[in-house]
Structure formats: C-alpha cells, structure tokens
A and B are shown apart, each in its own frame.
Chain A
Amino acid sequence: MIKISDEELLDELKRRFEENKKTVSELHRLNSTLTEVNKKLSDAESMKSHFISNISNEMINPFTSILALSKSILEVEKENWKKVTSLVSLIHTEAFNLDFQFKNIFAAAKIEAGEIYPEISKVNIEGVINEVIDSFKYEAKQKKLTVTFKTKTKAKSFYFKTDPEKLKLILSNLLSNAIKFSNENGKIEIENNFVKDKMIVEVRDYGQGISKENHEIILDRFKKLDTGINSINRGHGLGLSVIKATIDLLEGEFEIDSKLENGATFTFSIPESEAVSEGFTIDGNELLFEEEIS
C-alpha cells in the first residue's frame, strides 16, 4: 500500500472536487440545452397544427373563389362581356397565389427530403430579374406599387453561371414579401451588382419593417409574426426558410436589414458556380475500402 501525506490527500480531494464541479456544470449546461430543445419540440408541434389549419384555408379558399368566379363567367350575358375581364383578373390573382404557394411547399419538401440540386447554366441575370418583376405585375398594380430595377454594373454581359430556377424562387419570394408588406402607393427597389465573382441582389421595400429581435424568428419555417385570425397578410410562413435554404444550396449569403416601421432591405450574394465535374480520376493516391476493413 502506498502511503500518502495529508497534503497529497488534500490535493487529491481538491482535484476530485474540481472535477466534480466541472461535471456538474456540464450537466447543467446539457440540462438547459435539453429544456430548450423540449420547448422547441412543443412549439413545433403547435406550429404544425397551426400550419395544417392555415394551409387548408389557403388551399381551399382560392379554389372556392376560382370555381365561383368561373361559374359567374359562364353565366355572363353576351352584352355584358366587359364584366368578364374583371372576373378573369380575379381568377388570375387567386390562381397566381395558389401556384406560388405550391411552388414554395414543393421546394420546402424537396429541401427537407435532401433531393434538391443546383442545376447550373449560363444565366442572363437581368432577364431573370425582369421576368420575376413581370410575373408580379398584377400583384404590384393592385397595391399601386412601383417596382424599379437597376443594375450597378457596367459590364456588357450579364451572363452568370448559376441555377436560374433557384434564383427565380429566391427572387419571387423576396418580391412577394416586399409587395405583401408594402403600404399602398409605395415603392420597391431591386438592385443588382457584381463584385469579383459574386452577384449581389438587394430587394428594398418601404413598408412596415421588422424589429431586430424578430429577424431570426422570421427565418423559421411556418413562422409568421402576425398570426391573428384577421391577419391581412396571407401565406404560410415558409417563404423565408425556403429562401435561406436555397441560398445555402448555392453557397451564398443572406442578410436582413430592417427596423420596425422603417421598411426592409433583403440582400443576398451568391458566388458564380464552377462547372461541376462528375468524373472521378483514379490514381495511386487512393485507398480501397472493402468489406474486411473495419
């Protein structure tokens, strides 16, 4: 048996107490993480039920309107044909919103299933931005909004290697939000710039804005800040989480700059893609993992 002095014994005790202390504090940390995760789980559960009731409203209501409106068109007398134009424009609005929401839901489902890939081609950025603005023409017109687009670059060619469909998805969501949260007669500005091998796009509105503490929250799926039953803002809160994940896929960055009552600027930058080589060269610097290796 080894004899140890009182001092050594005290030192050892001290060391063990210290260790114990560390373990306890680690346990506390883990406990608080667990509580946090638990809270998030119960939040997620209630959000899910909210989401289902929300979404069924937003799917069924437009369909009901489309059916009723098209029925009215069928019943219009020949001499009242001018009425048809306004009815058709209402059908268009409903169908447009429905289509937009379906695209977001499918994009979110694909991202969550891990089945989304960048499909890179040479893209005319100016063309894509104008196309998106054009597709929201009627939505902007209804709120008497002016949407302007300018590019800061003087480069002759706008061709940029990226995924055009993902870019459209990001832009449509940003523009849709800007329209949704703008006040009537307002303006929305879209700016585009190329810095080194990055493309930067800014979407600015002068609407109700978002307070700083809500910046993180809005990136959550199914989260809407205004969830009251009388909320005039439609949508299911998927938009920004889809934007964020799509920008991630393109290895880009996303920033929100906004204060309450002071409009909002959403900026994203994406690097130009390199053509992905799918080949796999075989040389000496390789190991082969077979069944027997463990």
Chain B
Amino acid sequence: MNNNTITTKVNHFLYPSALFASKEPYLVTTILGSCVAVCFWDKIKKVGGINHYMLPLWNGQGLASPKYGNIAINKLHEKMLQLGSTKENLQAKIFGGGEVIETTVYQYSIGQRNIEIAENTLRELNINIVASSIGGKKGRKILFDTSTGEVRLKFINSSQ
C-alpha cells in the first residue's frame, strides 16, 4: 500500500459502541484501550466491516447496543451478510483488549474478557482469525482499509 492510495479514500472515525461496514473503500480509524475491535473482511467481494465494543456481554439491561461484544460481533456479521458476503469468504482480525488499568481480579479484567468473547464468538461463527494484536498494557490506534482488509496499527499510551 502506498501513501497515495491512503489519501484518496474516505476517512471515517469509529466511535466506541458503533459499528461500520461498507462496500465503498473507507479508511476507518479507531482508538482502543481495553476495548476490542473486530474487523471482518470478505476476500472475494472486497468488502470490510469493523466494530468497537467496550464490554464483553450485554446483561439484559438498557439498550442492546454494540457497546457489548456479543451484540457487536453478531451485528457486524449480520451486516456483512447483508452486504452480500458469505460466511465462508469472511476472515477476521482482532485488536485491542489491553489492560490499561492493572488488575488481578478476572471479573475486572475487561480487556481479557473482551478478547475472550471475540475468540469464542468467532469460533462459534466458524470464522478464521488471520491476524491479531491483543492484550498487553498499551492502547492502540488502528486504521482499517475496508477495500483491502489491511490494518495499520500504532501503540499509544492513552487509554479509552
């Protein structure tokens, strides 16, 4: 990928609790601390989608929004199918889930639990994880190209 192609594509900033998928080429940026982003890419249709969730599971209270991993991954998967993708052609990448706040109690290890829900849900959906950069203590800024499935990543110190 050269720098010229980066500048010609439309930029989109993905907020926490949101998801984005498009047939058009977009460069989606998002910033992750303990949050996790799952990127889906259809290698045949060249269509990509990404989510950004903050907590692993929806506990049944409030709105069933993609703030929660189990909702966000399934919703993004549905959206990819709506855009004409088939499950067999989809591949996934996972990013984030850093322990930006240190803890030894599992229930509080949001990052770790966010990663686990991604791995488990993708296994259930039978979608391969082709790349990942997860865990650790640092935040991440990622740039996802919906037309090539490529992800650029930069470690950052701030958390979100």
In contact, B151 and A279 (Cβ under 8 angstroms) = no
A117 engages B15 (CB within 8 Å): yes
* Most A-side CB within 10 Å, residue of B17, B62, B132: B62
Q: What residues on A are CB-neighbors of B153 within 8 Å? A: 286-287, 289
Once the chains are docked, how many angstroms separate the CA of A283 from the CA of B149? Answer: 21
Could you say which residues of chain B place their CB within 8 Å of the CB of A245? 17, 62-63, 65, 67
Determine whether the beta carbon of A293 is less than 8 Å from that of B131. Answer: yes
Task: Check if B150 sits within 8 Å of A290, measured CB to CB.
Answer: yes
Q: Which of A143-190 contact B (CB under 8 A)?
A: none
Contacts of A201 in B (CB 8 A): none
A40 to B59, CA, bound (A): 8
Task: Please report the total number of B residues contacting A with Cβ < 8 Å.
Answer: 40
CB distance from B59 to the nearest CB of A (A): 8
In the bound complex, CA of A278 to CA of B27 (Å): 10
The closest CB in chain A to the CB of B43 belongs to A291
B62 adjacent to A114 (CB under 8 Å): no
Q: B131-153 toward A: CB 8 Å interface, digit per residue (1/0)?
A: 11100000001010000011111
Q: Which residues of chain A have C-beta atoms less than 8 A from B17's C-beta? A: 111, 114, 245, 248-249
Question: A203 within 8 Å of B by Cβ?
Answer: no
Give the docked Cα–Cα distance between A116 and B52 (Å): 13
Question: Which residues 104-121 of A sit at the B interface, judged by CB distance below 8 A?
Answer: 108, 111-118
Distance from A1 Cβ to chain B, minimum over Cβ atoms (Å): 38
B88 to chain A, nearest CB (A): 17
Stretch at the interface among A2-10, A92-100, A213-221, A225-233: A213-221
Assess whether B60 is in contact with A37, with CB atoms less than 8 Å apart.
yes
Are A114 and B72 interface neighbours, CB within 8 A? yes
Would A278 and B13 count as touching, CB distance under 8 A? yes
Contact in complex: B67, A248 (CB < 8 Å) = yes
Shortest distance between the CB of A277 and any CB in chain B (Å): 8
Tell me whether B75 and A289 are in contact (CB under 8 A).
Answer: no
A219 in contact with B64 (CB, 8 Å): no
Given contacts A219-B62, A245-B63, contact A280 B143 (CB under 8 A): yes
Q: How far is the CB of A109 from chain B (nearest CB, A)?
A: 9
**Interface residue B51 (Cβ < 8 Å from any Cβ of A):** yes
Chain B minimum-CB-distance residue to A220: B61
Q: Which residues of B contact A116 (CB under 8 A)?
A: 18
A221 in complex: contacting residue of B18, B63, B66, CB < 8 Å: B63
Are B13 and A242 in touch, CB under 8 angstroms? no
Given A112-B64, A289-B131, A278:B152 Cβ within 8 A = no
Is A44 in contact with chain B by the CB < 8 A criterion? yes
Set A43, A115, A220, A293: member contacting B18, Cβ < 8 A: A115
Docked-complex contact B150 and A289, CB < 8 angstroms: yes
* B152 in contact with A287 (CB, 8 Å): yes
Known pairs A278-B13, A280-B11; A114 contacts B64 (CB<8 A): no
Known: A113-B75, A221-B63. A294 touches B27 (CB 8 A): no
Interfacial chain A residues near B51, Cβ < 8 Å: 114
Smallest CB–CB gap between A271 and chain B, Å?
13
**Distance in Å from the Cβ of A284 to the closest Cβ of chain B?**
10
A74 at the interface (CB under 8 A from B): no
Interface residues of B (CB under 8 A from A): 1, 3, 6, 11-13, 15, 17-20, 27, 29, 51, 59-67, 72, 75, 93, 129-133, 141, 143, 149-155
* 8 A-B interface contacts by CB (under 8 A): A113-B75, A114-B51, A114-B72, A115-B18, A280-B27, A287-B133, A289-B150, A289-B153
Other A-B contacts than A245-B63, A288-B152, 9 sampled, CB-CB below 8 A, are A108-B63, A113-B19, A117-B18, A278-B12, A288-B150, A289-B151, A290-B131, A294-B129, A294-B130
Q: Which 5 A-B pairs have the closest CB atoms?
A: A40-B60, A114-B66, A114-B19, A289-B151, A114-B18
